Amino acid sequence: MSTSHAKQAEAYLQNDAVATRHDATFYGVRQKRDKMAQALPEWEQLRDAASQIKKHTVTHLADYLEQFAARAEANGVHVHWAKDADEYNAIVLDILSSHGVKKVVKSKSMLTEECHLNQHLEAQGIDVVETDLGERILQLMHLAPSHIVMPALHVHREEIGDCFRRLGLMDEVKDVPVPEDPNDPTCLTYVARMHLRRQFAEAGAGMTGANFGVAETGDVVVCTNEGNADMSTSIPCLHIVSMGIEKLVPDLSSLAVFQRLLARCGTGQETTVYTSHFRGPRPGGEMHIVLVDNGRSTILADSEHWQTLKCMRCGACMNTCPVYRRSAGYSYSYFIPGPIGINLGMLRDAAAHSGNVSACSLCMSCDQVCPVQVDLSQQIYRWRQRLEAIGQANAMKKLMSQGMTILFNHPALYTATLRLSPAANWLPSALMNSALNPWARGHQMMKFPKKSFHALWNELSKKS
């Protein structure tokens, strides 16, 4: 009866210490987010505004894209359009090849993960260097991100230290005294800093994602804490921006709303350290923006799920999700985990990712924290209703539902069954609590009461 998520989660939960730590880490981020929200009297107004601005923008997206592209081109930027991942990968490869680029430094972009850009470029002999510290750690360890904002928090310092030592990164840093803990995060970060600064100096191009595009001005806005997007675009002269078409906001006044929400919701900070506006190429440099659809225009037509296009990838829904916190990113089959990832995975390929829709207790916490008010849990509920239609309904549950339909539609049968249920109490415990009974997993089977609620109610009514 288990879904793919449930099976993966079960394996993950075998290590109680790891799971408990993961849970505490992300609940800590959730609590920091709460403090941010409580510190602003206008918090709910901001969420309302953010949701309304996004609803307006994505339902007028063609107009705003034209305005944005025209502004960017007037600012001297090359604008490209890619309808799918293949086209996107080909455009980026074209730009890099025509400039003879052998190494590219890259700041974090979920879009490039979505399109598998790195693999595509590497197959053509281009060295792709992730520059966000977490992403670089994962890249060196050949792991996938487990979270969209804090991608490597599931990896422990010992594993990172071992990886750095194995690859010789430690030897490249001569001036750092060896600390008591050889895996001290400050020391490891310094080693990575020196390693990455060499990469910036050697790279022929810098690639960034876009947190926001401003239609009115043509600005691409990139927010980071590390400054890696800025290093990637201040040293190499060629800058390529990869941007999903839903990233637009109309103007700078709208941007203020999102800038204030993004870091508060994502990591519980008032702001990211850097909020950089790119409005054109550097002197003597080149700037390219690749606008990518890859299924987004199709989502717009889906009356039940189009509001996923409002998402700004802050990660708040993951941090608050009790299922994500206790099952971690790799339990989900889609590369974006948590409530938004469940929905985006279903929109990408429902047959491939229906194993994630069970990863929700319908507690609705994600709906409450989402800065743009995406109805995440309700969307997950709706996917569950559609499992039968897409041929992904669970056979056992289907059978049980059919049985219950008969039971609930026949009061006499229902009452008779209820009267007989205490008989189950006489079954040997070994049978009731066996592995065959999924309801007995993790806890003892309940005792059926001698009298049902109905029976008690009737007795009381007669007495009074």
Partner 1 sequence: MERTQQEIMNSKDKILAALRQNVRETYDMPELDALEGISYPDPVAQFIQKTTTTAGARLIEMHAGDDVNSLIRQAYPEARLLASNVPGVEAQMNPDTVSDARELMQVDVGILQGHIGVAENACIWIPQTMRQKAVCFAPQQLVILLRREDIVSNMHQAYERIRLSSEYFRDYPFGTFISGPSKTADIESALVYGAQAARAVTVILSD
- Closest approach, Cβ 252 to partner 1, in A, equals 5
Cβ-based neighbours of 216, under 8 Å, separated by 6 or more: 67, 71, 250, 251, 252
Burial of 312 (0-12, 13-18, 19+ CB in 10 A): buried
* Footprint of partner 1 on 156-175 (CB under 8 A): 156-157, 160
C-beta closer to partner 1: residue 270 or 349: 270
Which residues within the stretch 93-112 sit at the binding site for partner 1 (CB under 8 A)?
93-94
Pick the piece of the chain touching partner 1 (CB under 8 A) from 1-9, 88-96, 204-212, 401-409: 88-96
**Residue 333, phi-psi category: left (phi > 0), alpha (psi -120 to 50), beta (remainder):** alpha
Is the CB of 41 or the CB of 411 nearer to partner 1? Answer: 41
Q: Is 127 helix (H, G, I), strand (E, B) or coil?
A: strand
Taking CA atoms, 218 is separated from 90, 260, 405, in Å, by 24, 20, 57
Give least dist CB 202 to partner 1, A: 10
Least Cβ distance, residue 402 to partner 1 (angstroms): 35
What would the x/- binding string for partner 1 be over residues 241 to 280, using CB under 8 A? ----x----xxxxxxxx-xx------x-xxxxxxxxxxxx
Question: If binding is defined by CB under 8 A, does position 394 make contact with partner 1?
Answer: no
Which amino acid is present at 76?
G
Which residue from 13, 235, 407, 440 is in contact with partner 1, where contact means CB under 8 A?
Answer: 235
Q: Is 130 in the site for partner 1 (CB under 8 A)?
A: no
Q: Which is nearer to partner 1, 203 or 357 (CB)?
A: 203
Question: In the complex, what is the shortest distance from the CB of residue 49 to partner 1, in angstroms, rounded to a whole number?
Answer: 5
Integer CA distances (angstroms), 86 to 103, 115, 215, 237, in order: 21, 8, 26, 26
Per-residue x/- track, 11-50, partner 1 (CB under 8 A):
--------------x--x-----------xxx--xx-xx-
d(CA 199, CA 119): 19
Judged by CB under 8 A, the chain residues 190 through 209 that form the site for partner 1 are: 190, 192-193, 196-197, 200-201
Number of H helices, E strands in the chain: 23, 10
Q: How far is the CB of 163 from partner 1 (least distance, A)?
A: 12
Residue number, 9 or 249, with CB nearest to partner 1: 249
Burial class (CB in 10 A: 0-12, 13-18, 19+), 372: buried
Q: Which of residues 132-151 bind partner 1 (CB under 8 A)?
A: 132-134, 137, 150-151
Binder among 101, 115, 140, 188 for partner 1 (CB under 8 A): 188
409: CB partners within 8 A, 6+ apart: none
Residue 114, CB-side half-sphere exposure with 13 Å CA sphere: 24
Are 112 and 128 a contacting pair, CB within 8 Å?
no
* Closer residue to partner 1, CB minimum distance, 83 or 166: 83
Q: How far apart are CA 410 and CA 453, in angstroms?
A: 18
87 lies in the site for partner 1, by CB under 8 A: yes
